[in-house]
Structure 1
Amino acid sequence: MDNSTLINQFLDHYWLSSGASQNTLSAYRSDLKLFANWFDQPLTNVSDQTIKNYFEHRQLNSMSTATQARILTCLRAFYLHLLTSKIINQDPTAKLHHPKQAQKLPIFLNIDEVDQLLSAPDQKTIFGQRDRAMLELLYSCGLRVSELINLSYHNINLNEEYIRIHGKGNKERVLPMGEVAMDHLANYEKNARPYLLKNGQTDGYFLSNRGTSMSRQNFFYIIKAYALKAGIDKSLSPHTLRHAFATHLVQQGADLRSVQLMLGHSD
C-alpha cells in the first residue's frame, strides 16, 4: 500500500473517530506529506530513530516547539492507526516524548503601576468617570473582561455592597466590592451613565458613546491607551488587572482557595 493511500485512509478514520475539524485534518495531511517526502520510503518502514532524525532536520529550520508537538501528535495517531489495523507490528512513536514548550508568563503589574493605571482617566469628563469605574471594578473584584462588559444594571447593588457575576458555564458568584470602587460606581451612575444612555433603554451597565454595551475590543483599546498615558511600558493583556488582583491578594496573605473562589475557578 503506497504512502498516499495510507495517509488518506488514516485521515478518513481519524475524522470519523474524533470529529476533528477541517483545519486539523489539513494540518495533519500536510505534516504527513512532508514527512513522507523527506523519508522517501514506505511509511511502514519508519523507526523511532527515523523520526528523531526528522525532528533534527526540521529543527535546523527553527521549527517551534508547538509545531514539533503537533507533528508528534499527528505521527502518534497515524502509527497507532497502522498498529491497530495490523499494518505494522511495532509503534515507532511509543518511546518518543513531547518537547517541552516554553511557558508564557503573564505580564505583572506591581501595586504602584496599578495605582498609576487606575488614576489615568480624567475624572472631569464623562468618559473618564466611566473608565475609572470600570478599571476600579475590574481590579477590585478580579473580573474577567467579558464579565465586566456583560454586566447588567441589576447585577450591581451599591446599597448591599456586592456584585453578582455570571461567569463561565453560567456559574454565578457574588463578590464584595471595595469602598473606592463603590464610590466611583456611584459617581458613574449619577453623572455619566444617564448621559451615555441618551434617553434610550438598555440593561447594560457600562455603556459606549452610542448608548450600548461596550465591546471587549473597545475596552481593551481603552486600557492600552491609559497604560500609555500612565507611562507603563508593558504589553498588557485583557487579564492583566485580573492577574494583578489575585497576585496582590496572595502577597498580602489572602487564602489561596478564597482567591480562587473569587476568581470563579472551579479548581
Structure 2
Amino acid sequence: MEAEADSFILYLATERGLSAAYQLSVRQTLDALAGFLKKKNLPLPDVGTDELSDFLAERKSSGLAASSLRIVTVHLKVFFRWLAARGKLPMDPAEPLLSPRPDQTLPETLHGKEVTRLLESIDPVQFLGRRDRAMLELFYSSGLRLSELCSARLENFDMEEHFIRVTGKGNKTRIVPIGRQAEEAIEDYLRNERKELVKKRSSSHLFLSVRGGKLSPDRVRQVVKERAAMAGIDQNVYPHLLRHSFATHLLEGGADLRVIQELLGHADISTTQIYTHVDGARLKSIHKKFHPRG
C-alpha cells in the first residue's frame, strides 16, 4: 500500500501537476486507508467495494463531516481507478461508491429590523463613519461578495443608471443595481470623506484605508464586526451575512429565484435554491407560533 501510494502521489505531482496542498490531502486519505487495511489485516489486492464502504463508515463515525467524506470518496475513486488502469488491480472496487449527500446547512441571516439598526447606528459625522456606512449599505443593497466590494473602483459605478459592475468568481462580470439609500451613502462618502483619505499613491478603489490604500478583506470584516457590536447586535455579523440577508429578504419580498441568482452571480440555480429552504423554515416558525394548532 505504501509503495502504491507513493507512486500515485508522484503521478499527481508530475503528470497531473496538482498542487502540494491537494497532494497532502490525498496522502492523508491514503494513510488513513492504509491504517484501516492494516487493522483488518487486508492486503490491497483483496480490497473490494464493501471494504471501502466500511472504511468510509468508520471515517464518518469518527466525526468527519459529509463535505469531507465527499472529498475522501473522490480520493478513493481516483486512486483505485489509477491502480486498475495500470493493471495493479483486476477491477476498480471504488467505482460503485456513492458520494454522501452534502449537509443542508441553512445560511444565517439578519432580521430586517436588525439590518436597519446596524446601518442607522453609524454616525456619518464620526471619523470614517461615512465610509463604513457606505460599505455596509452597499453590501446589503447589492449582495456583493467581500472580494467584490474590496475590488470596487470608482469607474465601476454608474450613478446615473444606478448600478455597479463587479467581477466575481470565475472572473465573470455582472451588473448589479444599487439601492437608493446605498447610493446616497456612497455619494455622501465620495463628496465629504473619501477625498480626505486620498494620498499620492492612492488608486481608484472606492473604499480606502486611513493610509490611502485599498482596504483588505480582513479589515472590512473587522469593520463590519465592530459596527455590529456598536449597534448592540449580539449575533456574529460578517460581510457574507449581509449577502445572505440581501438574498433572503428579496425572496421574502416576492423576488423570482432566477433574478436573485443573477444578482448574486451564482453559476448554478441549485446554489441559490438554499434560500428557498430559509424562507420555508421562516414560514414554518411563523405557522407554529401563530396557528392555534401549530
Normalising by structure 2, report the TM-score.
0.78
Q: CA deviation at 1:188?
A: 1.1
The answer for unaligned runs of 5 or more in structure 2 is 269-294
* Partner amino acid, structure 1, of 2:70: A
Instruction: From the superposition, tell whether residues 222 and 56 of structure 1 become closer, same or farther in structure 2 (CA, over 3 Å).
Output: same
2:30 alignment counterpart: 32
Q: CA deviation at 1:74?
A: 2.4
1:53 alignment counterpart: 54
Q: CA deviation at 1:194?
A: 1.9
2:87 alignment counterpart: 86
Please give the secondary structure, in 1, of the residue aligned with 2:132. Answer: helix
Instruction: From the superposition, tell whether residues 102 and 242 of structure 1 become closer, same or farther in structure 2 (CA, over 3 Å).
Output: same
| Runs of 4 or more above 4 Å deviation | 56-60, 198-201
Instruction: From the superposition, tell whether residues 182 and 48 of structure 1 become closer, same or farther in structure 2 (CA, over 3 Å).
Output: closer
Q: CA deviation at 1:176?
A: 3.3
**2:210 is the counterpart of 1:209:** yes
Q: Counterparts of 1:63 and 1:261 in 2: how far apart (Å)?
A: 34
Q: CA deviation at 1:222?
A: 0.6
Alignment of 1:34-183 (within 5 A): 34-40=32-38, 41-183=42-184
Q: Counterparts of 2:144 and 2:103 in 1: how far apart (Å)?
A: 27
Deviations 1:171-205 (A, max 9, x none): 44333332222222222122111222257653222
Alignment of 1:227-238 (within 5 A): 227-238=228-239
1:4 alignment counterpart: 2
* Partner amino acid, structure 2, of 1:33: D
* Partner amino acid, structure 2, of 1:158: M
Pair member with larger Rg: 1
* Partner amino acid, structure 2, of 1:95: P
Normalising by structure 1, report the TM-score.
0.85
1:18 alignment counterpart: 16
Q: CA deviation at 1:13?
A: 3.3
Instruction: From the superposition, tell whether residues 209 and 255 of structure 1 become closer, same or farther in structure 2 (CA, over 3 Å).
Output: same
Query: Any conservation in 2 of the 1:107–1:237 contact (CA below 8 Å)?
Result: no
Instruction: From the superposition, tell whether residues 108 and 198 of structure 1 become closer, same or farther in structure 2 (CA, over 3 Å).
Output: same
Instruction: From the superposition, tell whether residues 179 and 62 of structure 1 become closer, same or farther in structure 2 (CA, over 3 Å).
Output: closer
Q: Percent identity?
A: 35
Q: How large is the Cα RMSD of the aligned pairs?
A: 2.6
Q: CA deviation at 1:115?
A: 0.7
Deviations 1:148-186 (A, max 9, x none): 222222322434433333334444433333222222222
Segment of structure 1 superposing worse, 96-105 or 245-254: 96-105
Please give the secondary structure, in 2, of the residue aligned with 1:239. Answer: helix
Q: Counterparts of 1:179 and 1:135 in 2: how far apart (Å)?
A: 14
The answer for unaligned runs of 5 or more in structure 1 is none
Instruction: From the superposition, tell whether residues 20 and 230 of structure 1 become closer, same or farther in structure 2 (CA, over 3 Å).
Output: same
Please give the secondary structure, in 2, of the residue aligned with 1:5. Answer: helix
Q: CA deviation at 1:128?
A: 0.8
Q: Counterparts of 1:64 and 1:259 in 2: how far apart (Å)?
A: 29
Q: Counterparts of 1:24 and 1:138 in 2: how far apart (Å)?
A: 33
Deviations 1:97-156 (A, max 9, x none): 223332332111121111111112122213111111111122112222222222222322
Query: Any conservation in 1 of the 2:154–2:204 contact (CA below 8 Å)?
Result: yes
Q: Which one scores higher on RCO, CA 8 angstroms, separation ≥ 6?
A: 1
Q: Counterparts of 1:198 and 1:12 in 2: how far apart (Å)?
A: 50
